[in-house]
Structure 1
Amino acid sequence: MSSSSQYSQAFHWHFTALDDDNFEIQGRTLFLVVVLFSVILLFTLLYLYARWVCRYRHPFPHALPPPPPPRSRGLDPLTIKTLPIALHRSSEAPNSREQAECCICLGVFEDGDKVKVLPLCRHCYHPECVDRWLSVHSSCPLCRGSLRINNTPVGSAIPHIVVE
């Protein structure tokens, strides 16, 4: 029982019994706390200044040249116009199932419809559909075969054929 009373006395504190000498900050400790606080304050101010400069100031606005305009990925209108147009005949199509519809609008070709034939792959489309497609893309919508050879549009060498 004496051991339990000994423990209870060791943990029994009174506010008058606390010694303030244990809470004194020595000279080196105070110096390190001040230096640490100054470094944190300096980095915080530097970070805020950098954000302000990046957001509200544009250093040397005329030093950088303007970016080049985006290159059009489609074909030029003259090349699109030179692609051949023919009349659709279901009896002449070798793969009548494959050539029976425009894969852009999914419209079925009727006999006598005007179709635009792409030169390399020979796929057929409604002229309005493929013209819109080729103004944005430079490839066949179905097989994705390029209509450019060495940066030269393929249709520029083909004469313009219009069947009426």
Structure 2
Amino acid sequence: MASSQHSHPFHWHYAELEDHHLQIRGRTLFIIVLLVLITLIVALVFVYARWACRRFNLNAPSPTSHALPDPQPRGLDPAAINSLPVTMFTLEMAVQTECCICLGVFEDGEKVKVLPPCNHSYHPECVDQWLSSESSCPLCRASLRVESDQLQVVVTQ
């Protein structure tokens, strides 16, 4: 049984290809050029912005740089820190039962350093380290200022 199919062999000739649909003409060419220019301008603005930000950040003093000293030191000097009262902790006199810096619980008879403005208590080594960089209570932020000639802590609110 032979079927009678009309098969046409595939003949492709370059001359038969119609490419007039692929031609780029006036308005299409203008839109393509405009899109390329917009993309180029956006890329250049982005590169310039990154360069400007890097240059600005490199020229800005870093928080760890020592180019300009602080006008006033933030912490107390060691003599002022040592002048703060140290007492023995007892449960009867306790305003608080733990050091809010290290979260350690105070035990009866343990030495605690009491800050004058607020009567908050801390382990001496914990609060000494804090006061060397800050001049306020770690819990309530009551400010401590030391008069240099008397080494007396003055409370400022």
TM-score if structure 1 supplies the norm length?
0.48
More helix by share: 1
Greater relative contact order (CA < 8 Å, ≥ 6 in sequence): 1
More strand by share: 2
TM-score if structure 2 supplies the norm length?
0.50
